[in-house]
Amino acid sequence: MNRGRGIFHGAEEEITELQERDGKGLQRYYCPFLHKGYLLHKFGKRMAFWKNMVFKASVGRFFRLLSLGVVFQWMWVEYLQAQPERIADKLHGYSLYEQESIAYAERKYDSAVDPAPEGKVIEGIEILSLDVFEKRDPFPSIFNSLHVLTRSHIIEREVLLVKGGFYEQQWADETARNLLQLRPLAFALCVPLKGSTPHQVRLVVITKDLWSLRLDGNFSGTFASSFEQTFLQFKEINIAGVHQMAAVLFELRNDTYFLGERYIIPRVLDTRINVGVSLGVFINRETHSQEGFSGKFSVQQPLYSTFAKWAGGISGLWGSKIVRHYVGGRLARYQGRSANEEISDRSNMPYEYGHSFFLIEPMLTRSFGSWLKHDWTLGGQFKRDLYHVNDFPDLDPSLVAEFIRSRVPPTETRVYPYIQYRTYTTQFLRGLDFELFALQENFRLGHDFYVRVYPILCAFGSSRNVMGMLAGLQYTLPLGTGFTRFSINSLTEMQTDASVSDASIQLNGRVNSPRTWAGRFVFDSVLLNRYKNFLNQRDTIGAYNRLRGYPSNWLMGSDFVAANLEFRSWPIQAFSCQFGGVLFYDMAGAFDTFSKTRLYRSFGFGLRALLPQISRLVFRIDMGFPLNQNSPFNTDPSLNIDSQSHILSPRVEPFSISFGLGQAFPLNSIQEDWY
């Protein structure tokens, strides 16, 4: 088969350069980073010397931290490259479901998996597209006639290896990772089979489509409050087998429902450019009148492979809506600072305000390196946020003023350029049964660090002069058949008078234990401290969000801390469906200051299920039992007043059942927009 071109077609010089560099040894390639680390360390010490400058001191600390990361990363890459890797070892990491697919490929092509394919000549590349519903699936195969399989050339253009070239496991792994990012695919495997001679292999790319014409979406809620958020899409995710998607959107919330449309083109013609657009309106459920709208678009070319040098694009977001805070399915009411007074219609107000927004962001990235990546990004942002509160003539004006001052974000315009540096490794851990069931998962190992600096100036049209810096550091280490990950994110925004307006720090930790005979333990923790909060940002915790057993969004605060421990059993396969169980212990709290920290605890059990023909995400249902009593400020048997957030909320029941898609708490990772 000659149609699989890959990114290396016509790039033989670049491949030769890489092979020559690897042949001389990685030490010669990476030793300059030791010198760079030393220079960064000295520069960081000089920056940290200016103790009277908060912003400079923080820059100094991050440069010193980066220097340690660079030195350690050189040692880490040397260690990884010294480890021999054989395809036979990887086969033990496949699930039963994937092993059945590999066995089918061996029978179809009358061959067997090559246990040592590295460096052999690829005599051919075969695309094996499995039916959505096979004999092993609990659905009749007649439904396959209603589905168009992905066309072979759509898969071929993602393959990073070429016929006649040398087999390299790293490019086979990256091909599989890229394929898994395509929406219509349930799974993708790149398997080297023995060729016609001992020095040749045949690469077989095994893929399976998800059912493309579907009613899809996400949902969350509790049995006490029913569906609190239901997002549905009636969509075709694989139009004519070329992976274009058209969808009609419907989102049901406690107060509104959203109607809209979306169209996505993952690759325009033969380029790597993807285009997406979405439009919709918000309809009030009581009045059935429009109360908002939303739209967004994006035109982007991503860093699609390790050797991709350029990425860029432009994206935009605009709209208007009413923000309402619901607790346990009921609209929360703001009580104010006098939480002990008798509850009346005049002493509290509904927790709602209006928000109009506009955002447009162009960016361009230049990427360097292969094993150790260095990405420099130059971009800009125009952002406008308008907030308002409706008139409440029957309420105490001081209560409304307090609500606006303490709960509503300020209206602001931000226009600024930014420059960002990011460095990370291209080493991944492959494993099973972390977030999914019976499907391969990939997790980036080593460091992932970024720092972004941006000046917000009135001269550009901004509301105020601010100098800002975002930074984050993440490190992931293998732990047998598990892994551990730690990350830190920091935000500092300083005004021209040297006062800090917004500043926060977030710490995350995750431990996925090695495999045991029954399952694995998962421990996840997070701590967020917004020690300066001019923008009045807050987070909520409860039910399906970190604290199962309590009402949804039960706690609110600018700061929060949470720790979750789960024991996840191995899945049991029934036909091709996967089922597993969970035992959990949750502990979390949200507050406006750490001096008023109060932690709430719960325990319980749950069920997980996966249908790989329908979705890669597991269905989740959990029963939680709270261990804390209600707040002592009860004046209404049906209400509970949180003394820290001053929110009237429902009382805690003896147990609560929550449900949704995906695991109860996601794997933490650094994000440029985490704040």
Query: Using one digit for the tens of pLDDT, what is the confidence trace for 506-535?
Result: 999 999 999 888 999 999 999 999 999 999
pLDDT per position as a tens digit, 9-52 = 333 444 344 444 443 333 333 344 444 455 555 555 554 444 44
Q: Write down the pLDDT at residue 357.
A: 97
Residue 444 inside a domain? The answer is yes
Write the CB contacts of 510 (distance below 8 Å, at least 6 apart in sequence): 484, 485, 486, 522, 523, 524, 525, 667, 668
Q: Are residues 110 and 43 in the same domain?
A: no
Q: Write down the pLDDT at residue 503.
A: 95
DSSP structure string for 351-403:
-EEEEEEEEEEEEEEEEE-SSEEEEEEEEEEEEEEEEE----TTS-HHHHHHH
- pTM of structure: 0.77
DSSP structure string for 518-529:
SEEEEEEEEEEE
Q: How far apart are CA 608 and CA 612, in angstroms?
A: 13
Write down which residue in 181, 209, 237 finishes a domain. 209
Write down which residue in 209, 230, 261 finishes a domain. 209
Q: Write down the pLDDT at residue 646.
A: 63
Residue 219 inside a domain? The answer is no
Q: Are residues 603 and 458 in the same domain?
A: yes
Q: Are residues 148 and 73 in the same domain?
A: no
- Which residues of the chain fall short of a pLDDT of 50? 1-36, 47-57, 80-92, 339-340, 631-639, 672-675
Q: Which of 237, 240, 304 is nearest to 273 (CA)?
A: 304
Q: Are residues 99 and 36 in the same domain?
A: no
Q: Write down the pLDDT at residue 135.
A: 77
Q: How far apart are CA 138 and CA 453, in angstroms?
A: 53
Q: Which domain range does residue 142 map to?
A: 12-19+84-209
Q: Are residues 200 and 308 in the same domain?
A: no
Q: Are residues 459 and 428 in the same domain?
A: yes
Residue 224 inside a domain? The answer is no
Query: What are the start-end ranges of the H helices in 181-326?
Result: none
Which helix or strand (DSSP H or E) is residue 47 part of? helix 32-48
Q: Are residues 51 and 187 in the same domain?
A: no
- CATH code of 99's domain: 3.10.20.310
Total domains in the chain come to: 3
- CATH code of 448's domain: 2.40.160
Q: Are residues 158 and 54 in the same domain?
A: no
Beginning with the edge strand found earlier in the chain, give each strand of the sheet holding 639-641 in spatial order: 349-350, 333-334, 647-650, 639-641
Q: Write down the pLDDT at residue 325.
A: 86
Residue 291 inside a domain? The answer is no
Residue 244 inside a domain? The answer is no
Residue 254 inside a domain? The answer is no
b/e for 57-74, b at 16 or more Cβ within 10 A?
bbbbebbbbbbebbbebb
Q: Cα Rg for the chain, rounded, in angstroms?
A: 27
Which helix or strand (DSSP H or E) is residue 349 part of? strand 349-350
Q: Write down the pLDDT at residue 65.
A: 56
Q: Are residues 502 and 620 in the same domain?
A: yes
Residue 169 inside a domain? The answer is yes
Write down which residue in 158, 184, 209 finishes a domain. 209
Q: Are residues 543 and 645 in the same domain?
A: yes
DSSP structure string for 443-461:
EE-EEEEEEEEEEE-GGGT
Q: Are residues 475 and 486 in the same domain?
A: yes
CB atoms within 10 A of CB 270: 7
Residue 282 inside a domain? The answer is no
Write the CB contacts of 134 (distance below 8 Å, at least 6 apart in sequence): 141, 576
Q: Are residues 149 and 174 in the same domain?
A: yes
